[in-house]
Structure 1
Amino acid sequence: MENRNKIIEVKNLYVTFNTFAGKVHAVRGVSFDLYKGETLAIVGESGSGKSVTSKSIMGILSKNANIERGEILYDNKDLTKLQDKEFSNIRGSEIGMIFQDPMSSLDPVMKIGKQITEVLRIKHKISKEESKAKAIDLMKAVGIPQAEKRYNQYPFQFSGGMRQRIVIAAALASNPDILICDEPTTALDVTIQAQILELIKDIQREKNLSVMFITHDLGVVANVADRIAVMYAGKIVEYGTTEDIFYNPQHPYTWSLLSSMPDLNTSSEDELFVIPGTPPNMLYPPKGDAFAARNRFAMEIDFEEEPPMFKVSDTHYAATWLLHPKAPKVEIPEILKKRINMQTQKEGVLV
């Protein structure tokens, strides 16, 4: 990254949920930085803690959630210590969010234009006429055709892809410094998904936004992210640049995520790799490496002791005992090795 201005710093974050069954340990000691103008992707299966982490930053955790320890530093403030009234001045204004399902973000009985102008008028204290003009400009900027006409339409009159564009316009209305995208393309078909990703990428460049992208699909962020953090069972198990993660993955969980991705060479006859087993029950976090029970490369120590973050390079770290100097040398899965070799030959990348 050329510009290394740190805009958010998450330090040793622990989040739990009180349930009838007991305490769920959703986020367990997560730390990362987000820099000005970069896109950081947080990737992992459902239940890995990635959305809980993003909601902690937005201050929209449910009432049964507790931030037990840790800090979220933004603009010389620890967001974990703010009261809701103080947070409301930051939420939406300085930190915007795009959710997975646009229909849950939009009021079905309110015209689209009004939903955007309300954000403008509340956050910027501008007149009705000025807010309407700005809303139409935003609608045009996110690719809504006939924006003047569609300003007076309702959400049900838009397709899923167009509704997601409206949600993006509303998130941008307050001119935030940070945009959190929580699975923003999951409900969309592949073509529309690509358009939305390209739109977010273009806006990020134009406005020098810091973007945090939450997804279960590594393929979605391949051409969007500058850095990737892989989460499993409430922890970051590997992080690095996009090139680090795709061309030199080190954690067996990252290998599994990459191996299970279809690509252009995958035919209808090919059997996709499936990660064996299921994620652990976070009511009772496992001892040692949480991925050990699903990891065919697991050693005895994986079931006894949690691995530290080992340094792979200045930009790349992974929490796996396989990186210990005394660990046996393990080859990455053949399916993944072939894919990396094909991609490096195609792009002329040396790894």
Structure 2
Amino acid sequence: MEKILEVKDLHIHFNAFAGHVKAIRGVNFHLNKGETLAIVGESGSGKSVTTKAVTRILPENAVIDNGEIIYKGQDLLKMSEKEFTNIRGSEISLIFQDPLSALDPVMKIGKQIMETLILKQKMPKKDAEKRALELMKAVGIPNAEKRFHEYPFQFSGGMRQRIVIAIALACNPELLICDEPTTALDVTIQSQILELIKKIQKENNLSVIFITHDLGVVANMADRVYVMYAGKIVEEGTVEDIFYDPRHPYTWSLLASMPNLDTRGSDKLMVIPGTPPNMLYPPKGDAFAARNRYAMKIDFEREPPMFKVSDTHYAATWLLHPDAPKVEMPEHLKQRIKQQLEEAGRYNG
């Protein structure tokens, strides 16, 4: 398959008062043309920082220490800001988590969509207005002609997110990055937004990176998955690999913490014990060792390499070493995963 994006050995730290926060520590991944890739993990795992590096919108205190970000054969990190401006928003677009903060509160919605078309595609004002209306209708905004002249506060959260999607699609991008685009929405609206993104992706053969902490979303959206923890990718594979045969204890913990349709308000979800490591001082061995009930002595001494499970599946855990004790995924977790896949329509067992 044709690779549209490849990230190689990416290292990023943040300059903080107390020292260097090592946010990204040697991340490698690729995205194929027309594919939906999910990057999952807890808050602070490095998911959003990685994609902000791709779009070059890192904060001023961020420093890229090493790495390449290859987009269609070009290293984005070696481009000047002027060169990259022609790609950001045109070929690579981003849908933010909070649509209210992504929109200008004192500018009418129609004008905000037009602004992208006029700035990026040098489109005449009349043509931009026509295209903006087409985009509003395409993302499901009712009474588009009337709502074209309204402000963001006059739209619901779900409708604001549709507007953000319309802006992201305005220049017909090839790569769409969705940074937790449904987090602030209720479940019904979440489902509508996800279906809209899937529909648009299929119609336009878009390549999509989906940033999320919600593995239920992954089961519905993704082709392949990268699991991140403490600035590193700890497991990668197809959706089937990750859900049917997860190998990293952190992935097990994420899967076990998912609610399902039978979860009631009084039910207690599984939580991952402990807290993520302080990335001012990354641990010597496996960063997940202190929270891992299956951790061995070597986990606290040496960082595990990526072990090959299959041609599509890799995991960084010493449990995959030939000399490690055999540890099976807990049975209750297998049942929970089965139910999640059934709900997503992807169970084939």
Between 7-16 and 73-82, report the one with greater CA deviation.
Answer: 73-82
Letter in 2 for 1:104: S
The answer as to whether partners of 1:302 and 1:321 remain within 8 angstroms in 2 is yes
Instruction: Letter of the 2:115 partner, please give it.
Output: E
Residue of structure 2 equivalent to 1:288: 285
CA contact (8 A) 2:260 2:340 kept: no
The reply to whether residue 157 of structure 1 matches residue 154 of structure 2 is yes
The 3-state SS of whatever aligns with 1:222 is: helix
**Is the partner of 1:37 in helix, strand or coil?**
coil
Distance 1:75 1:300, change over 3 A: same
State the match for 1:30 in structure 2: 27
How far did 1:268 drift?
A: 3.4
Ranges in structure 2 where 5+ consecutive residues have no aligned partner: none
Specify whether residues 185 and 344 from structure 1 end up closer, same or farther in structure 2 by C-alpha distance, changes over 3 A only: closer
Alignment-derived partner of residue 44 in structure 1: 41
- Give the drift of 1:342: 5.1
Q: 2:338 & 2:156 partners in 1: Cα distance?
A: 39
Moved more, 90-99 or 340-349: 340-349
2:261 counterpart (253, 264, 270)? 264
What amino acid maps onto 1:135 in structure 2? A
Matches of 1:248 and 1:279, distance apart in 2: 24
Aligned residue pairs: how many? 347
Aligned equivalents of 1:104, 1:348: Cα separation in 2: 38
Matches within 5 A, 1:193-208: 193-208=190-205
The superposition leaves residues 106-165 of structure 1 with CA deviations (integer Å, 9 ceiling, x where unpaired) of 000000000000101111111111111110000000000011110000000000000000
* Distance in structure 2 (CA, Å) of the matches to 1:121 and 1:105: 19
- Counterpart CA distance in 2 for 1:195 and 1:164 is 11
Do 1:67 and 1:80's aligned partners in 2 also have CA atoms closer than 8 Å? no
- Give the whole-Å Cα distance in 1 for the aligned partners of 2:155 and 2:339: 40
Please list every run of 5 or more consecutive structure 1 residues that lacks an aligned counterpart in the other structure: none
Change (3 A) 1:295 1:5: same
Structure 1 partner of 2:167: 170
After the TM superposition, list the runs of 4 or more consecutive aligned residues in structure 1 that deviate by more than 3 angstroms.
340-348
Q: How many Å separate the matches in 2 of 1:252 and 1:65?
A: 30
CA RMSD of aligned residues (A): 1.4
Match of 2:348 in 1: 349
1:280–1:343 distance in 2 versus 1, CA, 3 Å: closer
TM-score w.r.t. the length of structure 2 is 0.97
Name the residue aligned to 2:178.
181
Q: How far apart, in 2, do the equivalents of 1:34 and 1:349 lie?
A: 25
Counterparts of 2:168 and 2:148, CA distance in 1: 16
Which residue is 1:335 aligned to?
332
> Does residue 1:113 correspond to 2:110, yes or no?
yes
| Greater CA drift, 326-335 or 131-140 | 326-335
| Alignment-mate amino acid for residue 288 of structure 1 | G
CA contact (8 A) 2:219 2:341 kept: no
Following superposition, the deviation at residue 345 of structure 1 comes to: 8.4
Deviations 1:219-259 (A, max 9, x none): 12211000110000000000111111111111000000000
1: CA distance, partners of 2:15 / 2:341: 47
**2:221 aligned counterpart, secondary structure:** coil
Question: 2:326 and 2:20 mapped to 1: Cα distance?
Answer: 38
- TM-score computed with the length of structure 1 as normaliser: 0.96
Q: What is the CA deviation profile of residues 40-75 of structure 1, one whole-angstrom value per residue up to 9, with x for unaligned ones?
A: 000000110010000000010111111100100012
Indicate if the aligned counterparts of 2:275 and 2:291 stay in contact, CA closer than 8 A: yes
2:75 aligned with 1:81: no
Structure 1 position 343, deviation (Å): 6.2
Identity %: 72
Q: Residues 80 and 194 from structure 1, CA distance in 2 versus in 1: closer, same or farther, beyond 3 angstroms?
A: same
Is residue 61 from structure 1 mapped to residue 58 from structure 2 by the alignment? Answer: yes
Rounded to whole Å, the distance in 1 between the matches of 2:342 and 2:205 is 33
Q: 1:305 aligns with which of 268, 291, 302?
A: 302
Q: Is the 8 A contact 2:107 2:151 kept in 1?
A: yes
Does the alignment pair 1:325 with 2:333? no
